[in-house]
Chain A
Amino acid sequence: MWLIFGSLAAGLLVGAAWRSPKFSSLLSPAITANICIMLFLLGIETGGNDQVMSQAGELGMDALVLCLCAMACSAAGALAWWRFIRSDRRRKA
């Protein structure tokens, strides 16, 4: 956890100090490339896990149903909360 926050803090300092426009065009592709590398490594870990791969078909559908239900209800809750905050701010303004 400290490595993650330390890297973020270091990035914030570098970003605040170094605002070259040349650099900004490279930032977004660099972030995308990094995410791709991370997901590729995660895929290697998942593909190499015999227990997961052997049960992927059988348990995968259950996991998908569970995941989609949790995601849908979380999104609905977040939408309701966002609308409540916005309407309350409008009423007070």
Chain B
Amino acid sequence: MKTSFFIVSFFALGCMAGYFVDRLEWLADSGLSMWALALLMFLVGISMGRDREIISKMSRLDKRITLLPVITVAGTLAGAFVASLLLDRWSAQDCATAASGLGYYSLASILVSEYRGAALGAVTLLANLLRELLSMLFIPMLVKCCGPLSPEAVSGAASIDTTLPVIVQCTGSEFAVVALCHGFVCTLLVPLLISFFCAL
């Protein structure tokens, strides 16, 4: 938990730097974050490749775990419905559209802004950004209280990249493949779900 707070504090530092220092904009536009992500994947790959027993650990996993993306989407939509009861400003359709980003804030916010306007687009960006940050923060706690599948479900599409190292550290390398497949399916589902809810 301490490490997660330390990690997330870098996001807050970045926010302050981006807000107060105009000259840093080139860093955000430079594509450096994509190369940092590639390096992260390379390092995660090394830590997985070093584990001699990863294949046998994976073969012991239940095949029904592959249905996890369905659980994630169903849970997310149920949560969106609950949120629509608490938020007067947004309908159940609005909440379902914004939550369909599944943590993939960049693509989701662009799609929602295009179809449903800037206000819901901003909510989509913030909600999915928060989902990624908060899941990174709560993964160690979630593994203890909700089992090894909860970090993947809570991270959504981010389980394929940014939250993957934290998931591997907390659940073990055998769940890395679960997180990767889950993140991949969720990433593919994001544009489909958003288009569906926008067309309703």
Contact = CB atoms under 8 A, between A and B. Distances in A.
A44 B17 CA distance: 6
B33 to A, nearest CB: 4
Interface residues of A, number: 71
A43 B15 contact: yes
Contacts, number: 278
Contacts of B28: 41, 44-45, 48
A41 B78 CA distance: 32
Interface string A1-21: 101111111111111111100
Contact of B14 (A47, A65, A77): A47
A43 B11 contact: yes
A17 B6 CA distance: 32
Interface SS, A side: helix
A75 B75 contact: yes
Interface string B28-72: 100011101111111111111110000000000010110110011
Contacts of B42: 7-8, 10-11, 14
Interface string B142-172: 1000111110111010001110011001000
A19 to B, nearest CB: 5
B153 A75 contact: yes
Contacts of B14: 39-47
A27 B153 contact: no
B85 to A, nearest CB: 9
B200 interface: no
Given A37-B36, A43-B17, A47-B17, 9 more contacts: A8-B45, A11-B48, A35-B136, A35-B166, A47-B18, A48-B24, A59-B123, A66-B90, A78-B153
